[in-house]
Chain A
Amino acid sequence: EAGVVQSPRYKIIEKKQPVAFWCNPISGHNTLYWYRQNLGQGPELLIRYENEEAVDDSQLPKDRFSAERLKGVDSTLKIQPAELGDSAVYLCASSRRDPGQETQYFGPGTRLLVL
């Protein structure tokens, strides 16, 4: 079974520029998560999708961050404009919805550096 795929793996941009991250979840996983991981910290949730619906985006900075999950499969996370404090690793994870099978599997992440 293929794992969660993310691209790009690395991105370096200047502040105020836009940036986008792409995620393809594990086949059959209805739930998709975007997390942000700062250096030396655990991941923190930004947004969760159930199929194509964003059901938990309370931690997403909506003034500059946006996300979409068209057709309930792939997802894109966008930052516009980027700030220095956005430098972090952006992780995508996916899981099934069935009780007892909700383990989240993570992709390799996109490492963003804002200069």
Chain B
Amino acid sequence: EDQVTQSPEALRLQEGESSSLNCSYTVSGLRGLFWYRQDPGKGPEFLFTLYSAGEEKEKERLKATLTKKESFLHITAPKPEDSATYLCAVQAGSARQLTFGSGTQLTVLP
């Protein structure tokens, strides 16, 4: 059974204080690892897809990396508007659906 574990559950940062979120996964035949951002009262918003170990993708202050066992979402010099829950999900084997972690709730204080 595919498993995705995210840590920490919650993270509070000062504006400008860089940090990383972790997503550990156990799957059989990874096809893709996805990062989403979810604001309160809204649906998940797509950020990145990573397909193979060593791959990296960047978008503004966010950078996602992938190894064979985990993915990191690095946040550089965060701003209060980066506050949200960040969800990690995997797509594996022949399955089309995503298996999600429980998310990391990020709060960036001004």
Contacts and interface: CB of A to CB of B under 8 A. Distances in A.
- With most chain B CB atoms within 10 A of its CB, the pick from A42, A45, A105, A111 is A42
Contacts of B102: 40-42
Contact of A45 (B42, B43, B98, B103): B98
A108 interface: yes
Contacts of A104: 34, 46, 98
A102 B44 CA distance: 15
A103 to B, nearest CB: 6
Interface residues of A, number: 23
A41 B102 CA distance: 4
Contacts of B87: 42-43
Interface in A41-91: 41-45, 48, 56, 91
A42 B42 contact: no
A107 interface: yes
Contacts of A42: 4, 87, 89, 100-103
Contacts of B34: 103-104
5 contacts: A44-B100, A91-B43, A95-B96, A108-B41, A108-B43
